[in-house]
Amino acid sequence: MKQLTLLSLLILTFSSVGNTQEKKTKDQKAIKDMCGCYEVKFKYAETFSPDIAYEKAYDYRASALEWAELVVDKENKIGIQHLLIVNDTMVIKHWRQDWEFQNQYVFNYKSKNTWGIKKFSKEDVSGQWTQKAYQVDDSPRYSGSATWVHVDGKSYWANKTDAPLPRREYSKRDDYNIMNRGNNVQLTGYGWLHEQDNDKIIRVDGEKDELLVQEKGYNIYRKIADEKCKLAKDWWKKNNKIWKKVRQEWDHVLAKNKEIKLKEKVDDKKLYQYLFALENNANKKDIEAIINQFLN
């Protein structure tokens, strides 16, 4: 009888491990399926405001050609670098997303170019993936942890987290200072969809957050032939080494798990302007010195 009980426990254990690994493999595939060449459409519209007198901003529409390059492919970490192709002649390094399995540390945007660190217990993040989004200079933007769901032929991941103002409004709006992002990433038959349910928040130290207006957003990534993004692929081959060094330096900063506060400018130049000007042979000390100038 004891032997049968032990055998049953062993079968259940191995079955559970197998199911967990199968689920993780599906997660990894879903994340890596976001790589490739895409025609992207960006659509945003403000919806509801608690202030009936609030005048909604005009809807935002834009489109782009974007290459998403797999830059990290490890068992528990996947990194994707996005590159914009402008007018078929120029490549611009865009945002980056890292996905980390059962990661316990996330950076939370507070306000005033400051990110705090939040630690989760192992139980809280069991089976989850953290999405960490980075700015064009590889500094932090936002992050959040959630479970990938695979059901009815669909794969999606959803999370709510605070972030700085989006680039489309950063230089145009001063009536709010926090974007509470509702991120829903879903794989589709045409590529993938980044659906957003956002709250535009006014945050003042010592006071309760105030909702200015809500917003609905769709970033629609329609996959096309990889050769359409050859310009970006070639650009990355030439420039990936310097950006690997930049990522490594930021990894070193973030590994301290301490609050990060960044200066807006140093000598009237933004961080990305310094980093974009680096030559491929720039060394670790050059990059460290630049980033340290911006750390308060």
Summarised one tens digit per residue, pLDDT across range 19-29 is: 799 999 999 99
Q: Quick: pLDDT tens for 61-79.
A: 999 999 999 999 999 999 9
Residue 205: C-alpha distances to residues 11, 110, 111, 158, 209 (Å): 55, 10, 9, 28, 9
Considering the domain boundaries, does residue 206 fall inside one? Answer: yes
Rounded to two decimals, the pTM is: 0.92
Burial class (CB in 10 A: 0-12, 13-18, 19+), 249: buried
**Number of domains the chain contains:** 1
Considering the domain boundaries, does residue 8 fall inside one? Answer: no
Residue 19: C-alpha distances to residues 16, 23, 148, 151, 205 (Å): 5, 6, 14, 15, 46
Q: Quick: pLDDT tens for 234-273.
A: 999 999 999 999 999 999 999 999 999 999 999 999 999 9
Considering the domain boundaries, does residue 106 fall inside one? Answer: yes
Considering the domain boundaries, does residue 9 fall inside one? Answer: no
Q: How many helices (H) and strands (E) does the chain have?
A: 5, 14
Range of 187's domain?
Answer: 34-294
Between CA 72 and CA 154 the distance in angstroms is 25
Q: Quick: pLDDT tens for 153-203.
A: 999 999 999 999 999 998 899 999 999 999 999 999 999 999 999 999 999
Instruction: pLDDT band for 296, please (50, 70, 90 cuts).
Output: confident
Considering the domain boundaries, does residue 257 fall inside one? Answer: yes
Considering the domain boundaries, does residue 61 fall inside one? Answer: yes
Considering the domain boundaries, does residue 143 fall inside one? Answer: yes
- Residue 238 has, within 13 A of its CA and on its CB side, a CA count of 10
pLDDT over threshold 70, residue 6? no
Considering the domain boundaries, does residue 119 fall inside one? Answer: yes
